[in-house]
């Protein structure tokens, strides 16, 4: 059986979710569909091509803070939570419609 690190290294194009992001998605009751995953992967590809390091990827009712280089979702939040928080140290924003 491969360790989590070996799995990550064997699929460098995959998007990975931190424990915090996974927990936030579960707590919020958000279902991350195949279309959303595809949109996120495309967004991360485009952000990487532009040289972004940390970005906010926005869906209709969901925002994901992404570390672009390692293709890792750091955290997730809903639209209401976004409106109540200040986000710093991001160098890109990408809107995804699915």
- 78-86 mean pLDDT: 78
Residue 65 lies in a domain: yes
Specify the pTM. Answer: 0.84
Total number of domains in the chain: 1
Q: pLDDT digits over 6-50, tens only?
A: 444 456 679 999 999 999 999 999 988 999 999 999 999 999 999
Q: Is residue 21 part of a domain?
A: no
Residue 37 lies inside a defined structural domain of this protein: yes
Residue 63 maps to a domain = yes
Question: How far is 30 from 76, CA to CA, in rounded Å?
Answer: 10
Strand-pair category, 54-58 with 92-95: parallel
Residue 20 lies in a domain: no
Task: Assess if residue 24 is contained within a domain.
Answer: no
**Domain ranges, residue 54:** 29-95
Q: Alpha-carbon Rg of the chain, whole angstroms?
A: 13
Place of tokens 């070996």: 6
Q: Is 33 inside any structural domain?
A: yes
């Amino acid at each position: 059986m491969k360790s989590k690190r070996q799995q990550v290294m064997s699929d460098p194009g995959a998007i990975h979710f931190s424990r915090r992001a996974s927990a936030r998605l579960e707590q919020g009751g958000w279902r991350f569909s195949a279309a959303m995953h595809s949109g996120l992967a495309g967004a991360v590809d485009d952000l990487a091509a532009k040289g972004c390091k940390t970005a906010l990827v926005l869906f209709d009712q969901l925002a994901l803070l992404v570390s672009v280089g390692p293709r890792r979702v750091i955290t997730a939040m809903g639209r209401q939570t976004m409106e109540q928080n200040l986000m710093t140290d991001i160098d890109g924003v990408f809107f995804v419609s699915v």
